[in-house]
Amino acid sequence: MGNIVISIEPMSHRQIEDAKTLRSRFIHETFRAGPTTSARIARVQAELQARGSLSDLDDMEGAYVHGVLLAVNEEGALIGMGGVRRYSQDVCELVRMYVAPEYRRRGIGSQLIATLLDHATGYGYTEARLTTWNECRAAERLYRKFGFVEIARYNDDDTDLAMAKRL
C-alpha cells in the first residue's frame, strides 16, 4: 500500500453498519492476542450490548448532540472512526477511536486525534477524557504523545485505563 488519500468527516447514516462491523473487528482484534481468551471477548461483547454501547451508532444525533462522530475514509471505504461526546458541561469524552490494522503506522491515528481535539475545542470543552484497555498499548502511547495522562476511573465501563488532557 503506497501513499493513500484519506478524508476525515462526519459519519453519514449510510456508514452505520460499516461502523458496527469495524467496532466488532476492533473487539476481536484487541482480545484475540495475548493473555485474553474467547471468554473475555464474549464477555466484553455481551457487556457492550447490555449497556447499549452501540446505541450511539443508531442515534447519532442524540448521542453526539454536543459532539461529533467522525469517519475516516479511503476511497469511500470506512477505515477508521472516532467521536467526541459530551461527558459534562466542560468535559468531553473521546470514543470509538479505531483505525483498521492495515492502515496503521501511517499517521492516520494522529490525524484523527488531532481532528477530534480540534472539534472538542470548537465545542468549548476544556478537558478531554478517554478510556482504553491494557491490550491497546500502541493506542495508549499515541494518547500520551498527545498529552493525555492517566487519571482515576470516571465511569463504570469495562476498560482498564482512564486518561485525560486539558484543552
pLDDT, tens digit (0-9, with 9 covering 90-100), for 8-57: 999 988 888 888 788 777 766 766 555 556 666 566 666 666 555 567 77
To the nearest 10°, the Cα dihedral for 57, 32, 78, 88?
A: 40
Interatomic CA distance for residues 60 and 16, integer angstroms: 9
Please answer whether residues 65 and 56 qualify as being in contact, where contact means their C-beta atoms are separated by less than 8 angstroms. no
Q: Which residue has the cell 500502541?
A: 138
Report the side by side order of strands in the sheet with 149-151.
6-10, 68-74, 77-86, 91-99, 127-132, 161-166, 149-151
Q: Please give the domain boundaries of the chain with CATH numbers for all domains.
A: 6-166 (3.40.630.30)
Q: What pTM was estimated for this model as a whole? A: 0.82
